[in-house]
Each structure stands twice: as structure tokens, then as C-alpha cells.
Amino acid sequence: MSRPVRIGVQLQPQHAPDYGLIRDAVLRAEDAGVDIVFNWDHFFPLTGDPAGAHFECWTMLGAWAEQTERVELGALVTGGGYRNPDLLADMARTVDNISGGRLILGIGAGWFERDYDEYGYEFGTPGSRLNLLKDSMSRLTSRLAKLNPPPVREIPILIGGGGERKTLRLVAEYADIWHSFADVSTLAHKNKVLAEHAAAAGTDESRIERSVQWQGRDEAKALHDAGVTLFTVGVSGPTYDLTEVRRAIEWRDEVNPEVLEGLA
């Protein structure tokens, strides 16, 4: 399946003591031409001052849905253990309707122990968190099919992670987008593993878009040759400098085939 390159920006909701700084960054990112605006689902900063300013993910996505007009939006990624999966489905459906059908539902098993400890969730083990994610995906997708009114579109599901035995099996079964942190050689290996899981699940792995963090122009070509079409630039507060985002957009526009007016 041939896809155009897309550029996302992850506006990390940390170190911005005034929410207006984030609102302005969303506006600037959409105006710059990004395809997707992501945040993340943590409760504390991941870098810099651990006691720094931070905002919550899903309430912010509702505000972004109202603020923006064109970009898709979502979390990169939602912590799978932080919310009842039926409630999460309802939240996603609501944000999708507010945005007119532009939500991407990103989800993962979770990993940041402080989030769990300070908010009263059981941290468990990587295996137990992945088992919880597996159970959650079944409930989440079932609830999405029951909601009235339904989502505006069939909400794309993005699953983040690279575990070969459990995570990639969930990607094969549920995901429209797979986000990983792999380099080119690792990605080639995991693509083969994903294809095996998809064959076992009776799904077409070619329908799953490959997504990675932007690593610069030099790495982007090799990753694109390996099948990646979604690249996301991470940007932190308080300044939300979009310089590297613009470089990524320039590269995207060089790589994507030119659309000829008047031709289907």
C-alpha cells in the first residue's frame, strides 16, 4: 500500500506554566503545515525539572479539537492502564465528534512508574501491563461500536511499542498505525515479526502505517525506504521551537509526489 509521507509534531505538555503557550504552539504547528498534532499521556514532566509545570492529555485534546480546523490530533500515546477502557472509548468518540472526525487513538502499555505510583495505579510488570492492554483493546473496540452517536469516522488506532511477542501481536490485531523507536535494521526485523503475527491473525499487515520519531533528514530517507511514512518531531515547552518541525515538513514536501491539478 503506497502512502504519502506525513509529519506529526508532539507538543509535550511540560514546562509550560501558562496553557496559552501550548494553545499558541498548536496554532503555529497547524499553520506551518503539519499533518498531525500529538501530545502525550503523562502526569509529570519526563525531562528537565521533575516538579515542573504539566497538563493532562485528554482534556487538552478536547480543546485542540475545537481550536484546530485541518490537522489530525491524538496522544502519542495514551497510557493503557490509566482509564477504564469503556470510558476511554467514549472520550475518544466525543473528541472525534468535536473535531469533525480527526482523532487518532494512540495507546500503549505505559512505562513511567511515577505516573502509576502518584496517581494510585498498580505499576505491576511489563508483562502485566501488556496483558491489561490486551484486555483493554477488546473492551475499547467493542464499546466504540456501541456508542450513540458513533464516531464521525472509524477512528484510526495507533499502538506504540516494539515488543515482539505481545505488543506486535496487538498491533497486528488492532492497529492502523504502529509507532516504534526502532532504527533501520531493527525496523526491518520487527516488520518481519509483525508480518508473521498478521498472517496468524488473518489480517493484512500492509494496511498498518509505520511511524517513528523524527531523527533528522539523514536518517529519514533510510527509514522511509524501510516503509516508514509517519515521522513525528518532539517539542517541549515552554518555547515550543518548531524549527526542526519545519525542516521535516520541507523534507516531506520534497519526497511526496507532486499532485497535478485536474488529474484524479
pLDDT of residue 233: 98
The domain spans of the chain are 6-255
- pTM of the predicted model, to two decimals? 0.94
pLDDT of residue 259: 54
pLDDT of residue 2: 80
Alpha helix (H) residue ranges in 68-149: 85-99, 113-119, 126-144
pLDDT digits (tens, 9 = 90+) for 191-203: 999 999 999 999 9
**Cβ partners under 8 Å of residue 103, min gap 6:** 61, 65, 72, 73, 74, 92, 95, 96, 151, 155
Give the Å distances, CA to CA, from 33 to 20, 71, 120, 160, 179. 20, 8, 39, 24, 21
Homologous superfamily (CATH) of 6-255 is Luciferase-like domain (3.20.20.30)
Residue numbers of the chain with a pLDDT score lower than 50? 260-264
